[in-house]
Each structure stands twice: as structure tokens, then as C-alpha cells.
């Protein structure tokens, strides 16, 4: 089968290549899936550079999440050959087949194609854990979403709107404003360069935001500390900007807000029953049409470099999907 193999960690993708290798044989408790679509996530890019917190042993097949159909099952797996499934692990999705533990898969919700199903997992679970589980989001609250054009940010906009929040989508690129207005349908879009607190104050009649969702870090985090209302939460998702910010604890003390780290995968591992309920709720919302991942483009697996480089340049809105 074809697989995207990372054999060396480099800043320029020179350690990544599409290779032919043996199709995996599922071990006990695993299911073999023929992959129909796999979505690109920012951690996939970071792992090729050794910059992600999880560092798999070299060589490894890249790819966090996918969707496809079951082609081989073990006893008591809970799946049957031909089942349409979605899910994944930290690696292995950018290939024609993958063997995964049955517990890491679930059936594709009604109404979702493979490309959309492959784009649901990481982004929407991160958004749900951050906004709902940890943020306690309620209808009518104001939510500021940074990195709104990325997969994780756009999922947060989509989910927050579906749950009745007032959504302010933020981007550092002026050329993405029109696309965000059309695709995310937020209540407002702002540029989050420089000082943006006054824009937030104006949009919220001075109240500021109940939740700030920040996958960016750096200067965006620093200014976001000025945008959270008393009793609100600043949700730390990641550090796409590169600089991991620091905060003096007197700031959340005096302003009365919390800084909360949101690691959706770790949350589900530590609280597996909650993880199952979150997955079921995300699937229910998707089946009802309340949330829908936006696909920026679909490319063949052979065009993996175009996909990775587009993500590296920050030119996408939503998700890139690779099809073997």
C-alpha cells in the first residue's frame, strides 16, 4: 500500500516521502480500515519537525484522523466488514489502510461523507471540550475565537453558533475576512493584530467576552487577557504563533478570570466515559445538520506536499482532506 512516511525530522518536509510498504495486519483488538479520506491537522505538520508534544519513534506514517470502511475485524470488535467508520490515532492516517484499536473508531453519523467525517474528530472534540466541558458555554454568551480560519478555530465558531453563543471570529489576515463572514457566519469578524481590546469592548457593549478560545498564543494571548469579562475564561488551545506566552498571576486575580488549558485527547483518556458522551453529542449535532466541517480542498494523497505547504503558509480556511 501507499503511505506517507516520516523518516527524518526536518523544517522543510525533506524527511517525508510517499512510499510503498506492506499493508498492516490487525493485531488482537484491532480493526483494519481502508482509508477513503484523511484530514490534515496542524499537529501533523509539527510532528514532521519534532515540535509537537508527542514525538513518535522514527520512521512513522503521518496522519491523525481518517474515515473509511472496515475490511478486516477480530472477534468481539463491535464492527463488521463494510462498516463506515471514522477516528484514528496519533499516526497512520495518511495511507491506503490502517490497523487501529476498535476503541479508537466509531461509526460515521448519518448524512456525512468520508471527507466530512475525517474532519470531525480532532477539531470538533477540541472545540467541545474547551467551550462546553471546561468553558461551561451557555446560550447568549460572547465567545472570541482566535485562529478562526483554521480547522480548530472554524470548528469552535461552528459549535458555539450551534449552541446559541454570540461569536466574534478573529484572524490576523485581512484577506480571510470575507471568507470567514461567508463560511463561519459569526456575529462579527475582527483582525487580531496589535491592540484589539477596544473592538471587543465595542462589539460587546463594554462587557467583553465570557470565553476566549486561543490556539495562537504569543501576542494574541497577551492582548486577550484584556478581553475576558470578570468571571470569564481564557481557553488555551495551542501556540501556532510559536511563542509560548507567560502571564503574571495578578492579572487573572485582579480581572477575575481563569486561564484554562484544553487538551481534548488527554481529557478523553483521563475521563473515558465523558469522552464517549462528547463523541456521541458531536455526532448527534452533525447528524442533525447543526454543525458541518468546512472542507477547504480535497487532494489526492500524492499531492500531500501541496497540502502541508498550504497549511504551513496559513492560506487555508477550514480543513484540507487527502484521499488515497
Model confidence pLDDT, tens digit, residues 35-74: 999 999 999 999 999 998 889 999 999 999 999 999 999 7
Asked whether residue 138 falls in the same domain as residue 217, the answer is yes
pLDDT band, residue 78 (cuts 50/70/90): confident
Task: Find the mean pLDDT for residues 238-249.
Answer: 93
pLDDT band, residue 27 (cuts 50/70/90): confident
pLDDT at 74: 78
Asked whether residue 151 falls in the same domain as residue 257, the answer is yes
- Residue 277 lies inside a defined structural domain of this protein: no
Asked whether residue 7 falls in the same domain as residue 106, the answer is yes
Q: Which of 318, 317, 308, 250 is nearest to 4 (CA)?
A: 308
Q: Which of 47, 56, 51, 54 is nearest to 15 (CA)?
A: 47
Asked whether residue 68 falls in the same domain as residue 21, the answer is yes
- Residue 22 lies inside a defined structural domain of this protein: yes
- Residue 188 lies inside a defined structural domain of this protein: yes
Task: Find the mean pLDDT for residues 223-250.
Answer: 95
Number of domains in the chain: 2
pLDDT at 147: 95
Asked whether residue 185 falls in the same domain as residue 249, the answer is yes
Asked whether residue 115 falls in the same domain as residue 245, the answer is no
Instruction: Reply yes or no on whether the pLDDT at 98 is more than 90.
Output: yes
Q: Which domain holds residue 140?
A: 122-265
Q: Which residue has the cell 446560550?
A: 139
pLDDT at 19: 98
3-state helix, strand, coil in the chain (%, to 5): 35, 25, 40
- Residue 179 lies inside a defined structural domain of this protein: yes
Asked whether residue 159 falls in the same domain as residue 175, the answer is yes
286-323 per-position pLDDT tens digit = 999 999 999 999 999 999 999 999 999 988 999 999 99
Asked whether residue 82 falls in the same domain as residue 172, the answer is no
pLDDT at 111: 87
Domain at 254, CATH number: 3.90.180.10
Q: Which of 245, 265, 285 is the last residue of a domain?
A: 265
- Residue 286 lies inside a defined structural domain of this protein: no
Instruction: Reply yes or no on whether the pLDDT at 247 is more than 80.
Output: yes
pLDDT band, residue 89 (cuts 50/70/90): confident
Instruction: Reply yes or no on whether the pLDDT at 75 is more than 80.
Output: no
Q: Which of 265, 285, 302 is the last residue of a domain?
A: 265
pLDDT band, residue 121 (cuts 50/70/90): confident
Asked whether residue 127 falls in the same domain as residue 16, the answer is no
DSSP H helices in 248-303? 250-255, 264-270, 272-287
Asked whether residue 201 falls in the same domain as residue 173, the answer is yes
Asked whether residue 164 falls in the same domain as residue 255, the answer is yes
> Are the C-beta atoms of 97 and 23 separated by less than 8 Å?
yes
pLDDT at 110: 85
- Residue 86 lies inside a defined structural domain of this protein: yes
- Residue 273 lies inside a defined structural domain of this protein: no
Asked whether residue 111 falls in the same domain as residue 127, the answer is no
Amino acid at each position: 500500500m501507499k503511505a506517507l512516511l516520516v523518516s527524518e525530522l526536518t523544517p522543510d518536509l525533506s524527511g517525508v516521502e510517499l512510499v510503498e510498504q506492506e499493508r498492516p495486519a490487525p493485531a488482537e483488538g484491532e480493526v483494519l480500515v481502508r482509508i477513503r479520506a484523511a484530514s490534515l491537522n496542524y499537529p501533523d505538520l509539527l510532528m514532521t519537525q519534532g515540535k509537537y508534544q508527542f514525538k513518535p519513534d522514527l520512521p512513522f506514517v503521518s496522519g491523525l484522523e481518517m474515515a473509511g470502511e472496515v475490511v478486516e475485524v477480530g472477534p468481539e470488535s463491535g464492527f463488521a466488514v463494510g462498516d463506515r467508520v471514522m477516528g484514528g490515532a496519533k499516526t497512520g492516517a495518511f495511507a491506503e489502510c490502517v490497523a487501529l484499536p476498535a476503541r479508537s473508531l466509531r461509526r460515521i453519523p448519518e448524512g456525512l461523507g468520508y471527507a466530512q467525517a475525517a474532519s470531525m474528530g480532532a477539531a470538533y472534540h477540541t472545540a467541545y471540550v474547551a467551550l462546553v466541558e471546561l468553558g461551561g458555554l451557555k446560550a447568549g454568551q460572547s465567545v472570541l475565537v482566535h485562529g478562526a480560519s483554521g480547522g480548530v478555530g472554524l470548528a469552535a465558531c461552528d459549535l458555539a453558533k450551534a449552541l446559541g453563543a454570540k461569536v466574534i471570529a478573529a484572524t490576523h489576515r485581512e484577506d480571510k475576512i470575507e471568507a470567514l463572514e461567508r463560511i463561519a457566519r459569526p456575529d462579527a469578524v475582527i483582525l487580531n493584530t496589535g491592540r484589539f481590546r477596544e473592538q471587543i469592548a465595542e462589539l460587546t457593549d463594554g462587557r467583553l467576552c465570557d470565553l476566549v478560545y486561543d490556539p495562537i498564543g504569543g501576542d494574541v494571548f497577551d492582548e486577550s487577557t484584556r478581553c475576558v469579562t470578570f468571571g470569564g475564561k481564557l481557553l488555551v488551545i495551542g501556540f501556532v504563533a510559536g511563542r509560548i506566552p507567560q502571564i503574571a498571576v495578578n492579572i487573572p486575580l485582579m480581572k477575575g478570570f481563569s486561564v484554562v488549558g484544553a487538551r481534548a485527547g488527554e481529557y478523553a483518556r483521563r475521563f473515558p466515559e465523558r469522552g464517549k458522551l462528547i463523541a456521541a453529542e458531536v455526532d448527534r449535532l452533525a447528524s442533525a445538520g447543526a454543525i458541518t466541517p468546512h472542507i477547504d480542498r480535497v487532494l489526492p494523497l500524492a499531492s500531500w506536499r501541496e497540502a502541508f505547504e498550504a497549511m504551513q503558509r496559513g492560506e487555508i480556511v477550514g480543513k484540507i482532506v487527502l484521499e488515497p
